[in-house]
């Protein structure tokens, strides 16, 4: 069985050794801090134990001090904190819990009691993990397209907004592509929707395999995809779009046999703009370029231009 990692912070060397060996005998993997500051340093590390025992009285940062610091940092993952103290006044207990401790135990500790309370902590941490996993699954469902697994329309627009602001802040380039599968309706009409879905999935997978790792792909509409390419300057953007176009044009081995589909792509990039365009202006420019690619015979890449008026504000 895996050992449960636990962090203990105790300034009294005798008691620290006692606690450490008691825990190790019970199968815990013990990380030791000799004072509050060391404990706090540990807690800020991503991979430090989730189960924590803090002595109340320590020089520098006390147990409750460490607790308060920990609870004020929402970016750190949840820790189950047990405060250990020689104090036994009720008001102290309240102060400890108010500082953010989950539980409280008096010194000298009763072995059975500590054992039982640590088990409670482990159970709560387990529930917390399950809750996070369920939350993550929900978040994924809410932001991803169920069919293709890429971002959905709402999420890719949010990502565009975020990347646009970042590009403005960092004065870096940003490119977007609007991609529409050509004659997709025919696939559905001739082979049925299930084959249409296969074509959508395969096309999305080819896009994912062709873009750079930090590019973002979203299903914008039925057979329309929006790709956000942070840092991509105009020339690179064209080449990238060309690679994506070529990958989609490869024959698709579907359940209805070999199929061919192509894509028309409109690209538009911003670079060192004095003022940022609105996301919708960028999308509209890419959209117009995509329609121009359609008009010029499909299966091609066209570059869009942002209208000066749209670069304002």
User: Is the CB of 55 or the CB of 223 nearer to Mg ion?
Assistant: 55
Residue 303 interacting with Mg ion (CB under 5 A) = no
Please state the closest distance from residue 11 (CB atom) to Mg ion, in A.
4
User: Is the CB of 88 or the CB of 255 nearer to Mg ion?
Assistant: 88
And the tokens for 140? Answer: 């994924």
- Of 11-19, 172-180, 206-214, 305-313, which segment contacts Mg ion by CB under 5 A? 11-19
Whole-number CA gyration radius for the chain: 28
Number of residues that bind Mg ion (CB under 5 A): 3
- Of 5-13, 177-185, 250-258, 266-274, which segment contacts Mg ion by CB under 5 A? 5-13
Is 209 in the active site? Answer: no
Q: What is the dihedral of CA 203, 205, 207, 211, to 10 degrees?
A: -170
Residue 197 interacting with Mg ion (CB under 5 A) = no
User: Is the CB of 57 or the CB of 124 nearer to Mg ion?
Assistant: 57
User: Is the CB of 57 or the CB of 259 nearer to Mg ion?
Assistant: 57
- Of 10-18, 110-118, 181-189, 257-265, which segment contacts Mg ion by CB under 5 A? 10-18
23 to 62, contacts with Mg ion by CB under 5 A? Answer: 55, 57
- Of 8-16, 43-51, 98-106, 276-284, which segment contacts Mg ion by CB under 5 A? 8-16
User: Is the CB of 39 or the CB of 179 nearer to Mg ion?
Assistant: 39
Does residue 188 contact residue 196 with C-beta atoms inside 8 Å?
yes
Please state the closest distance from residue 33 (CB atom) to Mg ion, in A.
12
User: Is the CB of 83 or the CB of 155 nearer to Mg ion?
Assistant: 83
Query: Considering Cα of 128, then 131, then 133, then 136, what sign does the dihedral take?
Result: negative
CB atoms closer than 10 angstroms to residue 140: 10
Please state the closest distance from residue 131 (CB atom) to Mg ion, in A.
33
Please state the closest distance from residue 55 (CB atom) to Mg ion, in A.
4
Residue 65 interacting with Mg ion (CB under 5 A) = no
Given the residues 198, 223, 302, 303, select the one marked as catalytic: 223
Residue 105 interacting with Mg ion (CB under 5 A) = no
| Catalytic residue ranges | 223
- Catalog residues that contact Mg ion under the rule CB under 5 A: 11, 55, 57
């Amino acid at each position: 069985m895996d050992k449960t990692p636990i962090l203990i912070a105790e300034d009294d060397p005798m008691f620290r050794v006692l606690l450490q060996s008691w825990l190790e005998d019970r199968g815990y993997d013990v990380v030791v801090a000799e004072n509050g500051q060391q404990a706090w340093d540990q807690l800020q590390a991503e991979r430090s134990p989730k189960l924590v025992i803090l002595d109340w009285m320590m020089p520098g940062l006390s147990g409750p001090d460490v607790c308060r610091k920990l609870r004020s940092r929402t970016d750190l993952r949840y820790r189950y904190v047990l405060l250990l103290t020689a104090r036994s006044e009720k008001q102290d207990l309240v102060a400890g819990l108010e500082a953010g401790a989950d539980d409280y135990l008096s010194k000298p500790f009763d072995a059975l009691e500590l054992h039982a309370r640590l088990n409670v902590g482990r159970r709560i941490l387990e529930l917390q993990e399950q809750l996070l996993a369920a939350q993550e699954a929900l978040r994924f469902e809410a932001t991803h397209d169920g069919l293709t697994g890429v971002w959905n329309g709402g999420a890719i627009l949010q990502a565009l907004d975020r990347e646009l602001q970042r590009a403005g802040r960092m004065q870096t380039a940003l490119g977007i592509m609007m991609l529409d599968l050509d004659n997709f309706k025919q696939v559905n009409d001739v082979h049925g929707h299930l084959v249409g879905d296969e074509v959508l999935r395969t096309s999305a997978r080819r896009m994912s395999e062709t873009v750079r790792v930090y590019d973002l792909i979203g299903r914008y509409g039925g057979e329309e995809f929006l790709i956000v390419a942070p840092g991509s300057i105009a020339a690179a953007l064209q080449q990238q779009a060309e690679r994506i176009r070529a990958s989609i044009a490869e024959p698709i081995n579907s359940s209805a046999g070999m199929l061919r589909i192509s894509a028309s792509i409109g690209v538009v990039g911003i670079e060192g703009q004095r003022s940022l365009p609105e996301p919708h202006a960028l999308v509209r420019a890419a959209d117009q370029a995509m329609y121009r690619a359609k008009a010029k015979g499909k299966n091609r890449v066209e570059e869009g231009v942002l209208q000066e008026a749209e670069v304002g504000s």
